[in-house]
Structure 1
Amino acid sequence: MEKAFFTGLARLNKWLLPSYSKKRLDLSKASKWQLAIIGWRYYVTTKALG
C-alpha cells in the first residue's frame, strides 16, 4: 500500500515539479527552495523504489 502511494506521488512530482538536473543547476548556487524540492523528490523516489 505504501509503495503504491509513493509510486503515484513520484509520478505526480515528475509532472508538477521542475527537474533541476535537466536544467544543469549547480547545487552550490541553488536557493533553499530549490534544495527543498530536490530533497523532496529524492525522498519520494527512494520510498517508491524501496
Structure 2
Amino acid sequence: MYKTLAKVNKFLLPSFTKQGLDIAKAKKWQKMIIAYRYYITIKSLD
C-alpha cells in the first residue's frame, strides 16, 4: 500500500528540493507536505 502511495505522491505532490526551497523558510503547509512525503517514503521502504 505504501509503495503505491509513494509513486502517486511522486507525480501529484510538488518536490520542494528540486525547487531549492530552504526548510527553515518553508511555510506551514509546505512543511506538512514534506513531512507527509517523508513518512510515506520511510514506510514504503520497510
**Runs of 4+ in structure 1 over 3 Å off:** none
Structure 1 residue 47 corresponds to structure 2 residue 36: no
Give the TM-score of the pair, scaled to structure 2.
0.97
Show the counterpart of 2:10.
14
Aligned length: 46
1:1-50 CA-to-partner distances (Å, cap 9, x unmatched) read xxxx0000000000000000100100111000000000000000000001
Please, which runs of 5 or more residues in structure 2 have no aligned partner? none
Question: Share of identical aligned residues, percent?
Answer: 52
Give the TM-score of the pair, scaled to structure 1.
0.90
Between Structure 1 and Structure 2, whose CA radius of gyration is higher? 1
Let me know the Cα RMSD of the aligned residues. Answer: 0.3
Please, which runs of 5 or more residues in structure 1 have no aligned partner? none
